[in-house]
Structure 1
């Protein structure tokens, strides 16, 4: 991200991207993040309800 920002600030037409070639997903889309939040909330809610029912038996 830093390389892209610096290229934009300097009005450069190229950006040098380097790394280890290991796959890594650094850019996340809003929909992906939203889906993850909803999934976690739904699953945590079920887990919490199971724990509460277990404790109140």
Structure 2
């Protein structure tokens, strides 16, 4: 059960990062470094989610 809750939490954070990336990209003065940082965070979360799902 705790693993499922953790996966849901990470999924929510992953979705939030995705939204932030989209919003950053809409801006005419896009901060490419900020977008790259958000994408790295998103990838790290995805990898953690996949690892947790494999353990189930």
TM-score, scaled relative to structure 2: 0.48
Q: Which has the higher contact order (CA 8 A, sep 6+)?
A: 2
Normalized per residue, the structure richer in helix is 2
TM-score, scaled relative to structure 1: 0.47
